[in-house]
Amino acid sequence: MKTLQNLMSVLLISALSFTSCNKAEDVEVVQKVEVELNNKQMQNEKNPQDHEGAMHNTFLDFFSKSFDGTKEMNQDKLLKLYSEFHTSQKIAFGDEQIKGYKKLFETYDMMAMGRPIPVLPPSLCRWFPAICDLLSPSPTFPFGLPVGLLNEDNGGTSAERTLKFIEQIKVNEAKLIADKSLSEEKRKALLSQHAVARYSAGYWHNVNAIHKSKSPYFEPFQSEDIQAICHTCDVVGADAAGAAVGALVGGVGAGPGAGIASGAVVLEKAWNWFWN
């Protein structure tokens, strides 16, 4: 009888252990499920430049339907593309915009936009004095933004890392809004930069973790030719830099200006270099 009781105890303990392991495995599986982020999760209504981030994502959707990774893109094609985009959004596109976009392309070429870490040549600082105050690149946190939070080495799902990044950006934005020492020009550029960074992080999370092959950006984003510790970090950093520059170039706007910057980084391996 005692032997039977001992046997029953062993079986009960084994059953409980097996159930416990299964529950732990189930929890782990649930934690790894990715979710799509919507505009509500990306936005910050307290930032007066929030619309620039939304416009950035709208441009990327428009751009995705127009580019062909097998053909070279050049300035004339880009200008035509921007003209069509402005028309679709009922935004003026005249001599001021043409001049502004040409200046933007020249600036991106000088910054080597599309490379892992864009550079800030001295002449760029002379053209746009505020640029060198705004952008302070480093391998870990390009352009003063905590893009390193998006690195998968930080653990969690892509959605969790992206939301953490977005929340940190909102903290930074609150400080920018409250900072009385900033000129209006710098404040606008920095708030545009942060707005675009939020929406960019959400957009590329959705491409990489949710839409995947349904997005025309996914294949070049996954290219084996891209050697980067965190390619998402590079793309979001390029978007943020493009937003800061676009905000300072007359006739362009931070959102559309940043959109082509991320296009350069994602598609650089598929296209010939196209600023020149």
Across the chain, which has 276 residues, the per-10-residue mean pLDDT values are 44 44 49 89 97 92 75 76 90 90 79 57 60 51 72 94 96 90 85 92 95 87 65 81 80 79 60 45
Contact 64, 217 (CB under 8 A): yes
Q: Is the CA virtual torsion 240, 275, 208, 149 positive or negative?
A: negative
Contact 50, 44 (CB under 8 A): yes
Residue 6: the pLDDT is 46
Residue 127: the pLDDT is 58
Residue 226: the pLDDT is 57
Q: Provide the angle, in degrees to the nearest 10, between the axes of the packed helices 231-248 and 50-64.
A: 110
Q: How many CB atoms lie within 10 A of CB 154?
A: 13
Q: How many CB atoms lie within 10 A of CB 201?
A: 31
Partners of residue 245 on adjacent β-strands: none
Full-model pTM? 0.78
Residue 227: the pLDDT is 54
- The CA R_g of the chain, rounded to the nearest whole Å, is 23
